[in-house]
Amino acid sequence: MATALLPRHDPRTGPGWMLERLGTAVWIFDIDDGCVVWANTAALEIWNAAGLEELRARRMNETMSPAVQRRLRQYQADFAARNTVFTELWTLYPRGVPRPMRVRFSGVRLVGGRVGMLCEGAPEEGMEPEMMRSADALLHTQLMISLHRDDGRALYLNPAARAAFEGRHERLVDRFAQAEDHARLLDALVGHGEARLTAPVHTCDGVRWHELTARTCLDPATGDPSLLVSATDVSSLKQAQALAQDMAHHDPMTGLPNRLMLSPLFDRLSAHARAAGSGLGMFFIDLDQFKSINDTLGHQHGDAFLVEVGRRLSALRGAQDAVLRLGGDEFLFLAIEDPAQPRLEALATRMLEQLSMPVGSGGRRVVVTPSIGLARFPDHGQDAQSLLRCADWAMYEAKTQGRCQYRLFHDQSRTRMETQLELLADLKEAIDGQQFDVHYQLRHSVARGRTVAVEALARWHHPVHGTVPAAQFIPLCERAGLINALGTLVMQRALGQQRQWQARGLDVGVSINVSLRQLSDPGFGAHVAQLLEDAGCQGDRIELELTETVLVEGSRTVHENLERIRALGMRIAIDDFGTGYSNLARLSETAIDCIKIDRSLIFGLPRNAAIVETIVAMCRLMRVTIVAEGVETAEVAEWAGRHGCHELQGFHFGRPMPAAEMEARLAAEHAAAP
């Protein structure tokens, strides 16, 4: 055993009289206690000590740097394990005065079996200060410096390199965790005589990341070609990079991969599907009315809700599937399907069930339903982005067809999608290029037997498709974020028109459609006030039409905007009434002036008379103006008038028409009954 080789030191007799007489300074250092335990005369002189007792009393470790202390511990371990001997240039500081020495260190057993250090020192007089400093720096630096023969065998390791590698590998190649890194290093050396790389290496602390610089040189002792390597540990930097990378690819809230992970995940799953001959489905999941949770319960509950949705989706995931959060309330589910056991549609049903279950949030149980679109690889798209477009489209169809359902992408969907996407592209130009116009449809008063108001309806004069009705492009504008721009344009025209008619003696109200998005803009109320002032209209001649959804889903901002608008004297109408939630409690919270019964109910008259009668009775209680929309025949007009509708609107009275045509019509009515 190596430790048995260490000479024993007996403090009572000393290591012997011979040592006393040697010209070489010899002393024994107790690494654990940090003091000299024995020194010969020459050493006492070097240490500038009055006697052994005085030297022993010096607590050397109190003035020692942590780096030196660490190094001594390392020596101690090396002595114990391998009986190592080092010769190094050290600068001692007897009574604070620097003394460069060449010291030979070896291990010695102290009483009680502890390992101490036998030091034999020869003064390095005539040494250049420059050299002293560089030798000292080499010993103290954290930089791991090593010199290797050209076959890679280590010739010298500085203390930092020794701490990292000693006893682990003799050859440089063994240091590398990946052999190809060593090959790269050698290639670069052959090419440039110098190399730099960052690589994982084996160290006494396991695998670490080192940044290495290597240079070919000559061994100063033998003149043989050799290799000087310096290395720094950059593991923490690497970890930080990896963490940053991970954070960039994951949504911190749900912990799910984010949009950036779509392509890599899709590539992996589609390759797997191809190889296994299986199918791959992409589900686009969007929560219905999620905004209302954020608005009514606050963002914290909204966030908790999204985390729960992520959890429920993940619970449905098979071993090969992936779940991502695209952003906001949009999630993506990639699912592998074995053709022998189709599962995609059943999975969509399970998603609907699971996501529609109440979530406990802030002491309340909240229900939010999803709209889901499903597209299949490779039928609907070969790559992540084109498949995503199809799944998104199918989701959009699920949403527009009543929400809380899933829709499969079909080839018919593709034609619809393509024409719509084409229109969408044109739409952006249209807004700038003034291709929009406003048509007006009259509202006929039953009591007064004439037009009392007109509804402004946006029209798009498309250079190829001709006049496009609002039903076809308003939803596109909403999707493309163009509805605010369009809304402003329509409102400006409609207000200006109303003012003009008023000036010409044609007293007619104008109603303007506004969407949830417009009302969700905090500046909307002020914007409307400005437009009203610019046009010079009277507020009470203007009515804004919004849907029930706006009131149900509307945030505080929406309600603040509505209050601001009412303060201008403007009227509020509920459009398409009877198709949505008919959440009467919610409706009566907001001051409403008018309810427009949806044309789908009016078409069905007198078959579904009961529903319309109920709505009319209710509206009478709320003391609001009742408008029947979509009146196409004289019979329906007669029925609606008799059953309490105040105003009638529909093709029977007139289609939406350009302003000039409407003006002629109003003027004729005015002339007939001034």
Nearer Cβ to Ca ion, position 576 or 647? 576
Smallest gap from residue 517 Cβ to ligand C2E (A): 8
471 binds ligand C2E per the rule CB under 6 A? yes
Q: Crossing angle of helices 483-503/659-672, nearest 10°?
A: 30
Q: Are 291 and 552 in contact (CB under 8 A)?
A: no
Cis preceding-peptide flag for 225 (omega within 30 of 0): no
> Which is nearest to 189 in space by CA: 225, 146, 144, 232?
225
Smallest gap from residue 602 Cβ to ligand C2E (A): 8
Ranges within 438-457 binding ligand C2E (CB under 6 A): 441, 457
Residue 227: what are its φ and ψ, rounded to 5°?
Answer: -130, 125
Smallest gap from residue 454 Cβ to Ca ion (A): 11
CA geometry: angle at 480 spanning 477 and 481, to 5°? Answer: 85
Residues 6 or more apart whose CB falls under 8 angstroms from that of 344 comprise 279, 281, 335, 337, 374, 376
Residue 592 interacting entry, from Ca ion, ligand C2E, none, C-beta within 5 to 8 Å by type: none
Nearer Cβ to ligand C2E, position 587 or 631? 631
Q: Are 102 and 136 in contact (CB under 8 A)?
A: no
> Which is nearest to 637 in space by CA: 598, 670, 605, 669?
605
458 binds ligand C2E per the rule CB under 6 A? yes
Ranges within 545-564 binding ligand C2E (CB under 6 A): 545
181 binds Ca ion per the rule CB under 5 A? no
Ranges within 472-511 binding ligand C2E (CB under 6 A): 474, 487, 490
Report the alpha-carbon distance of residue 261 to residue 250 in Å, rounded. Answer: 8
185 binds ligand C2E per the rule CB under 6 A? no
Segment interacting with ligand C2E, rule: CB under 6 A, options 259-267, 276-284, 306-314, 467-475: 467-475
Residue 469 interacting entry, from ligand C2E, Ca ion, none, C-beta within 5 to 8 Å by type: ligand C2E
- Collapse the DSSP code of 422 into the 3-class scheme (helix H, G, I; strand E, B; otherwise coil) and give the result: helix
Give 86's Cβ-side CA count (13 Å radius). Answer: 22
650 binds ligand C2E per the rule CB under 6 A? yes
Burial code of 303-326, b = ≥16 C-beta within 10 A, e = fewer? Answer: ebbbbbbbebbbebeeebbbbbbb
Smallest gap from residue 459 Cβ to ligand C2E (A): 7
Report the alpha-carbon distance of residue 659 to residue 665 in Å, rounded. Answer: 10
Report the alpha-carbon distance of residue 532 to residue 535 in Å, rounded. Answer: 5
Nearer Cβ to Ca ion, position 426 or 455? 455
Amino acid letter at 282? M
Smallest gap from residue 484 Cβ to ligand C2E (A): 10
Q: What is the largest CA-CA distance in the chain?
A: 141
Burial code of 614-632, b = ≥16 C-beta within 10 A, e = fewer? Answer: ebbebbeeeebbbbbbbbe
Nearer Cβ to ligand C2E, position 262 or 631? 631
Residue 651 interacting entry, from ligand C2E, Ca ion, none, C-beta within 5 to 8 Å by type: ligand C2E
413 binds Ca ion per the rule CB under 5 A? no
Nearer Cβ to Ca ion, position 321 or 629? 629
576 binds Ca ion per the rule CB under 5 A? yes
Q: Are 278 and 326 in contact (CB under 8 A)?
A: no
Smallest gap from residue 601 Cβ to Ca ion (A): 11
Q: Are 143 and 122 in contact (CB under 8 A)?
A: no
Ranges within 495-534 binding Ca ion (CB under 5 A): 513
Ranges within 592-621 binding ligand C2E (CB under 6 A): 599
Smallest gap from residue 457 Cβ to ligand C2E (A): 4
Nearer Cβ to ligand C2E, position 37 or 544? 544
Segment interacting with ligand C2E, rule: CB under 6 A, options 110-118, 151-159, 463-471, 563-571: 463-471
Among 484, 497, 513, 561, binds ligand C2E (CB under 6 A): 513
Nearer Cβ to Ca ion, position 451 or 513? 513
Amino acid letter at 292? S
Among 397, 543, 545, 553, binds Ca ion (CB under 5 A): 545
In the numeric block, the tokens 């496009």 are attached to 468
Residue 660 interacting entry, from ligand C2E, Ca ion, none, C-beta within 5 to 8 Å by type: none
Residue 548 interacting entry, from ligand C2E, Ca ion, none, C-beta within 5 to 8 Å by type: none
Residue 457 interacting entry, from ligand C2E, Ca ion, none, C-beta within 5 to 8 Å by type: ligand C2E
14, 86, 124, 349, 371 from 19: Cα distances, Å: 9, 20, 21, 92, 92
Point out which residues bind ligand C2E (CB under 6 A): 441, 457-458, 469-471, 474, 487, 490, 513-515, 545, 575-576, 599, 630-632, 650-651, 656
Point out which residues bind Ca ion (CB under 5 A): 513, 545, 575-576, 629
